[in-house]
């Protein structure tokens, strides 16, 4: 790490509405009316004000405006982990929609830590954001924000269904479709890699898996359901353990892109052939899945759209605070690629 030094400049005071008023020879009220377009302002005066503002480089102070109006034009977005392409894409979608609707986005990466999550929530309350989009880790955030009168939209996962809006994907259907695909190919020993099975997204995907097995008349084998941690390293380790075992599964359904990555790496390290030795299907299509060889079949969700839809819902909620809460379910689709085939002959 190298460092170079150079001299630096200084600065002055920021122009306020008062400065603009003096420059244009009118009162502050008139400037405000001319700039915001609310209320009367003769066209020549308006023009004079606009010119003065432009010359001074005047930018209205959002703090003061929000203080007065008691409502800001920014929304908070709380995601778990920006390094995960899923959340990054979701944030990107939220960002575009926010900009289009004239909102500023305040984003915090909560790193899967409950502490960071509540810290961030408090910061958003302090900022008097107009609303919050969150990928929640517990019901605490939504409850807290709602108690402060801040509209919340839960996205991807949903803890406060019934009291707050939600935007999720068809987790159960997606998981069932993916698992059924394996069943139809003739697989009977189908492992599930999943982060957790009790709440919201994880629960739904687990149920979808169970439903597909049931429909295929297959008994669930608990040792084939792996509750892995949240990172690639952990998932890889668990996959190594399972796939090295004597009667390993003939197929794996990985319930998210991180777990899929771990499983994929483990498969590669063990020298197993896909789909010859083992089939793999993932929930959440990520770029690498169409780049590796063989390409990986995946349930694709419109992640960008998820973020955009959440912000759209939020903005509707802000405009109609009393309307019934709504859960929007985006559809998913299975993209069948090269990683799935009938099980090997015994």
Partner DNA sequence: TCCCCGTGTGGGAACGATGTCACAGTCCTG
Partner DNA sequence: CAGGACTGTGACATCGTTCCCACACGGGGA
Q: Interface residues for DNA in 6-65 (CB under 7 A)?
A: 14, 16-18, 25-30, 32-33, 35-36, 38-42, 45, 58, 60-61, 64-65
In 10 A of CB 312, how many CB atoms?
20
User: Rounded to the nearest 5°, which phi and psi values hold at 105?
Assistant: -105, 125
Nearer to DNA, 60 or 85 (CB): 60
3 vs 346, beta carbon nearer a copy of itself: 3
* Residue number, 61 or 223, with CB nearest to a copy of itself: 61
Question: Shortest CA distance to 117 belongs to which of 81, 92, 149?
Answer: 81
Q: How many residues are recorded in the chain?
A: 346
Could you say which residues in the range 66-105 bind DNA, by CB under 7 A? 67-70
Which entry of DNA, a copy of itself, none binds 149, CB below 5 to 8 A by partner kind?
a copy of itself
Taking CB under 7 A as the criterion, which residues in 108-147 touch DNA? none
Q: How far apart are the first and last CA of the chain?
A: 57
Q: Which is nearer to a copy of itself, 213 or 299 (by Cβ)?
A: 299
Question: DSSP assignment, residue 335?
Answer: E
Least distance (Å) between residue 267 CB and a copy of itself? 11
With tokens 């920014």, the residue in question is 74
Check: CB of residue 33 under 8 Å from CB of residue 39. Answer: yes
219 binds, among a copy of itself, DNA, none (CB under 5 to 8 A by kind): none
CB of 312 to DNA, least distance (A): 25
166, 327 Cβ separation under 8 angstroms: yes
At its nearest, how many Å lie between DNA and the CB of residue 69? 5
CA distance 233 to 235: 6
- Choose among a copy of itself, DNA, none what residue 92 binds, the Cβ cut-off being 5 to 8 Å by kind: a copy of itself
Structure tokens at 11: 């600065």
Rg (alpha carbons) of the chain, rounded to whole number: 26
Q: Which partner in a copy of itself, DNA, none is near 324 (CB below 5 to 8 A by kind)? A: a copy of itself
Relative to beta strand 131-134, strand 152-155 is parallel
Residue 145's beta-bridge partner residues?
Answer: none
Q: How far apart are CA 272 and CA 12, in angstroms?
A: 66
Give me the least distance between CB of 9 and a copy of itself, in Å please.
Answer: 6
Closest approach, Cβ 6 to a copy of itself, in A, equals 5
Nearer to a copy of itself, 126 or 346 (CB): 126
CB nearer to DNA: give 49 or 167. Answer: 49
With beta carbons less than 8 A apart as the criterion, state whether 249 and 278 touch: yes
| Residues contributing to the site for DNA (CB under 7 A) | 14, 16-18, 25-30, 32-33, 35-36, 38-42, 45, 58, 60-61, 64-65, 67-70
């Amino acid at each position: 790490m190298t460092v170079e030094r150079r001299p630096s400049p200084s600065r002055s005071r920021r122009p306020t509405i008062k400065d603009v008023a003096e420059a244009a020879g009118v009162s502050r009220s008139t400037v405000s009316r001319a700039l915001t377009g609310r209320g009367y302002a003769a066209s020549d005066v308006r023009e004079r004000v606009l010119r003065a503002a432009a010359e001074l480089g005047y930018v209205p102070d959002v703090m003061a405006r929000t203080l007065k109006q008691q409502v800001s034009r920014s929304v908070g977005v709380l995601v778990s982990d920006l390094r995960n392409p899923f959340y990054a894409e979701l944030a990107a979608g939220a960002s575009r929609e926010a900009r289009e609707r004239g909102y500023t986005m305040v984003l915090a990466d909560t790193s899967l830590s409950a502490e960071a999550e509540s810290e961030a929530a408090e910061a958003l309350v302090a900022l008097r954001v107009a609303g919050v989009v969150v990928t929640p880790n517990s019901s605490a955030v939504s409850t807290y924000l709602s108690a402060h009168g801040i509209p919340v939209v839960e996205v991807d996962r949903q803890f406060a269904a019934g009291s707050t809006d939600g935007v999720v994907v068809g987790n159960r259907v997606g998981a069932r479709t993916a698992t059924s695909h394996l069943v139809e190919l003739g697989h009977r020993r189908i492992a599930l890699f999943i982060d957790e099975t009790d709440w919201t997204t994880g629960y739904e995907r687990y149920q979808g898996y169970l439903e597909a097995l049931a429909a295929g008349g297959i008994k669930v084998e608990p040792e084939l359901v792996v509750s892995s941690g949240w990172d690639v390293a952990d998932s890889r380790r668990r996959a190594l353990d399972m796939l090295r075992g004597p009667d390993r599964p003939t197929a794996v359904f990985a319930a998210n892109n991180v777990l899929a990555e771990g499983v994929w790496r483990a498969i590669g390290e063990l020298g197993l052939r896909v789909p010859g030795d083992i089939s793999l299907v993932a929930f959440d299509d990520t770029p690498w899945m169409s780049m590796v060889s063989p390409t990986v079949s995946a349930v694709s969700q419109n992640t960008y759209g998820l973020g955009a839809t959440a912000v759209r819902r939020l903005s509707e909620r802000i405009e109609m605070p009393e309307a019934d809460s709504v859960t929007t379910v985006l559809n998913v689709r299975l993209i069948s690629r090269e990683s799935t085939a009938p099980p090997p002959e015994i």
